[in-house]
Structure 1
Amino acid sequence: MLAFTDEKLLNLLIQYNPWWRGVPISEKTSPPKRRIAYYEAEKMLLHPSLRRFVILSGARRVGKTTIMYQLIQSLLQRGVPAKSIVYLSFDNPIIKLGGFESVLRAYRNAYPTEERCFFFFDEVQYAEDWEAWIKTLYDTQPELRLVATGSASPALEKGSAESGVGRWSVLKIPTLSFYEYCDLLQLPERPRLEQGIPPTRLHTMDKGDLSELMAGLSPLQRHFNRYLTVGGFPELALSQDDAFSQRMLREDVVDKVIKRDILALFNVRNPLQLEKVFLYLCMHSSGIVNMTTMSKELDGMNKSTLTNYIQFLKEANLIYISDPVGVDGKGVLKGRPKIYVADAAIRSAVLMLENAIADAGETGIMVETTVYKHIAAFYSAANARVGYYRRV
């Protein structure tokens, strides 16, 4: 590690934490609209009797950092002293080179306190041995509360299963649901619906009630079509330029994850092969994956390599894997999985599909992908496995 003076590190902290100087958090940084995940994170962070650090895991641009700033703003409004709230991004080269311990030392030397502190660490997976020092923080500072984010989940979930047992919980942040999309855009066509209609109840509703429900939702059809196109990424959903949004989705969400995050976290030696695998999965999203066929179509790529790359893409929050299940809900031995891209708009952006919504086949893939994402997100807190059943 390179040595930086406390003064330099403190100046970095002051830049990251403008509320220390009385500068309010802007509405752009902390928008008034809260996602459902925000309330889950807030409940975990402020629980009066169960102390847990919170790890927010999700794809790039789903709003993890926004949730952190909204939590910071809420703490300030509750009267928490400004200098007891610390935000850091571990994507910063100074923090990477200087090390977390040096930054923490500079903060403690400048602002010694025995009061409760709140730490917010962005992109924590870039910190070396992050789970070890978060474990140390949890064990040695009982008044500390902490929220961290990560765009790739392997290290986060592995750490949670080892060092993090009883210390922190991983909260998955999916892309916006269609409900959240409508709420974010404050669409006037939003109907008033009966509360408490889980997905599992839809198939048991009689035709009259189901028709009434669909009639109430019909004004949202054109908005749903756009949602399929731009996806559930908050910043892109608010944009007025859908074509540019798709380009940003391709460059910021996909390219950076494949060409940077996965390469760094998994030590991938052949990034071109990884790109080919993801492109293949985008072309076959919602389809059953045959590894033998896939290997042949990708120039004889080793099946073990294919399996590893698919797992890497899953852990980087770019795809979902749906395993087959029998009618009894149990897994099917030797069954082939289905692959879904994490958001239908990612697939359209990668394949550069123009007006995909006008193609019935493409629309079917986009809708199935979106429905799966909603169900998987709905039941993620219960650690439920969302598979598929295929009648043979």
Structure 2
Amino acid sequence: MAITSVENVIKLLYSYNPWWRVGTMPLDMVKPTKRFAYFESMRWLEHTSVRRFVLLSGARRVGKTTIMYQMIQSLLDKGVPPKSILYVSFDHPILKFYSVEELVEIYTTNVYPEEKCWLFFDEIQYADDWELYLKVFYDSKPHIYITATGSASPVIEKGAGDSGVGRWNIIRVPTLSFYEYCKLACIKDVPKLNIDVKPTSLASMGESIQREIMHLLEPLQKHFTRYLAVGGFPELVLSDDDFGSQRILREDVVDKVLKRDIPSLFNIRNSSILEKVFLYLCFNSSNIINTSTISKELDGTPRATIDSYIEFLERANLIYRSMPVGLAGKMILKAAPKIYISDAAIRNAVLMLDINDLVSNPDEMGLVAETAVYKHLASFYYPSHASVGYYRKSGQVPKEIDVVVDYPTGRILSEVKYRENPVIKQDDAIVELANSEKDKVLAAIVVTKTSDSYGILPYKTKVPIYRIPAYAFLYLLGHAEEKGYRG
């Protein structure tokens, strides 16, 4: 029998879809904790007036497949016929011999011939011309509903841009937020908060209410320290083997992306320079990156090559690239990005940092905390299409604000001071801008470390500058996200 026979494909489909036999999803495939991306995906899948395919984009092992399994179980719970739901992963070697159209034809001919069906495609970037077939399905088969995932978002987003306008929505799946971490880890100290509590509303509340909220959030501080150390990959959160988890991350997340995904998708013949660029970024995470410096470090590798590799790493969900934001209408002509590794766990695994040593190093923890703040804000405001970057004012003493959320109507400023007894001076950038009318500042926040470091700073600025511990700030962002707030 040929390895690519229809019979082999049908056997593979039955192994991928056990609910065809038993009518429900096996318990070990459905996790009880649902992420925000699940609810957003189901909203579009079940939309009664607007039909859209759903594309989930995120790093390997971030939970995209789990979200699809949860979506499948939800459909089964609502009485959808089991065989009308197809799941496949195009990462499987047999399926590399088939196009999306050929696979769907095998399914509809041999398993489920009815028009209305739900198709779940994992790692769709490995299917040739996938975006063209999805366009055809959307335009010619109105009763087909498709959800797909991709670990390599360059291909996913390019396909969506070329063919997907008005046909599918990309939903990014970052690593776990601190709020999601607390839920997944079943932390008992999780507070019950009113629906209207969000970070930007604290400054307008009375001191007694602020004190009560901070008292409720204080038990989360000890859990936040571990979150910064192990990061937001679900498997690491639930594992008690930190060393083994780091090895899994290096092998199955970083190595596969650097040595297989990016080289195969972008025709890179020698991945060693790509690996060196990523290693350099790991050592310099949260810093402004100069490609000329990297070029010298890498024996004269052309700057254009380095720029391309940084873009590939960003699109593959291994890094965030934070661009400078111009305030008061000033244009940024020569933009040097800040680079953040997309999750603390990735950087710790690549550099083989011992978690106990990391926690005891205040400089490292400050770096990791700033990374976490940027990741949370970038993820939180992504659906709003707001730019999230940084502000830097050149001069004899350069001034900088770590994270700036740039709305058309104004900006939210965030400065990270994750250390004991942080000091904000009157001439610091965040104080100057919070007192400026022309810069359209909506809110100004200083993210601190300890539980007693909160409240409005004693500066008479046009916009009050509010201090808040990092664990409280990031937890409240997650709480606001769950309640649907975006401002």
Give the TM bin, normalised by the shorter chain: over 0.9
Give 3-state SS (helix, strand or coil) of 1:379's partner.
Answer: helix
Counterpart contact for 1:230–1:245, Cα < 8 Å: no
| TM-score under structure 1 length normalisation | 0.95
CA distance in 1, matches of 2:210, 2:224: 18
State the partner residue of 1:118.
118
State the partner residue of 2:323.
323
Which one has a larger percent helix, Structure 1 or Structure 2?
1
* Compared CA separation, residues 23 and 112, structure 1 to 2 (3 A): closer
* Compared CA separation, residues 203 and 362, structure 1 to 2 (3 A): farther
Counterpart contact for 1:285–1:365, Cα < 8 Å: yes
Counterpart contact for 2:84–2:112, Cα < 8 Å: no
2:243 matches 1:240: no
Greater CA drift, 201-210 or 300-309: 201-210
State the partner residue of 1:150.
150
What is the Cα deviation at residue 195 of structure 1? Answer: 3.0
CA distance in 2, matches of 1:348, 1:240: 16
What is the Cα deviation at residue 317 of structure 1? Answer: 0.5
CA distance in 2, matches of 1:251, 1:286: 24
State the partner residue of 2:35.
35
State the partner residue of 2:94.
94
Counterpart contact for 1:3–1:98, Cα < 8 Å: no
* Compared CA separation, residues 376 and 200, structure 1 to 2 (3 A): farther
What is the Cα deviation at residue 209 of structure 1? Answer: 5.3
State the partner residue of 2:14.
14
Counterpart contact for 1:121–1:149, Cα < 8 Å: yes
Give 3-state SS (helix, strand or coil) of 2:389's partner.
Answer: coil
CA distance in 2, matches of 1:201, 1:20: 49
State the partner residue of 1:311.
311
**Within 5 Å, which residues of 2 pair with 1:43-54?**
43-54=43-54
2:128 matches 1:128: yes
* Compared CA separation, residues 345 and 214, structure 1 to 2 (3 A): farther
Give 3-state SS (helix, strand or coil) of 1:162's partner.
Answer: helix
* Compared CA separation, residues 348 and 206, structure 1 to 2 (3 A): farther
* Compared CA separation, residues 330 and 183, structure 1 to 2 (3 A): farther
Q: Residue 372 of structure 1 is aligned with which of 361, 374, 390?
A: 374
Kindly provide the CA deviation profile for residues 333-353 of structure 1, in whole angstroms up to 9, marking residues without a partner as x: 213110111111211111111
Rg (Cα) greater in structure:
2
CA distance in 2, matches of 1:111, 1:164: 28
- Does 1 or 2 have the higher relative contact order (CA < 8 Å, sep 6+)? 1
Greater CA drift, 49-58 or 221-230: 221-230
CA distance in 1, matches of 2:339, 2:203: 24
What is the Cα deviation at residue 212 of structure 1? Answer: 4.5
* Compared CA separation, residues 388 and 27, structure 1 to 2 (3 A): same
The gaps in structure 1 that reach 5 residues or longer are none
Counterpart contact for 1:7–1:106, Cα < 8 Å: no
Counterpart contact for 2:108–2:114, Cα < 8 Å: no
What is the Cα deviation at residue 188 of structure 1? Answer: 0.6
Kindly provide the CA deviation profile for residues 337-384 of structure 1, in whole angstroms up to 9, marking residues without a partner as x: 101111112111111112211101100000000000000000111122
CA distance in 2, matches of 1:391, 1:210: 33
State the partner residue of 1:288.
288
| TM-score under structure 2 length normalisation | 0.77
CA distance in 1, matches of 2:330, 2:266: 31
Which one has a larger percent strand, Structure 1 or Structure 2?
2
State the partner residue of 2:188.
188
CA distance in 1, matches of 2:215, 2:246: 31
CA distance in 2, matches of 1:186, 1:329: 46
CA distance in 1, matches of 2:297, 2:113: 61
CA distance in 2, matches of 1:7, 1:13: 10
Q: Residue 358 of structure 1 is aligned with which of 357, 360, 366?
A: 360
2:76 matches 1:68: no
Kindly provide the CA deviation profile for residues 38-82 of structure 1, in whole angstroms up to 9, marking residues without a partner as x: 000000111011000000000011100000000000000100001
CA distance in 1, matches of 2:329, 2:39: 31
CA distance in 2, matches of 1:127, 1:78: 30
Greater CA drift, 365-374 or 284-293: 284-293
Kindly provide the CA deviation profile for residues 8-43 of structure 1, in whole angstroms up to 9, marking residues without a partner as x: 222221111111111632333111111111000000
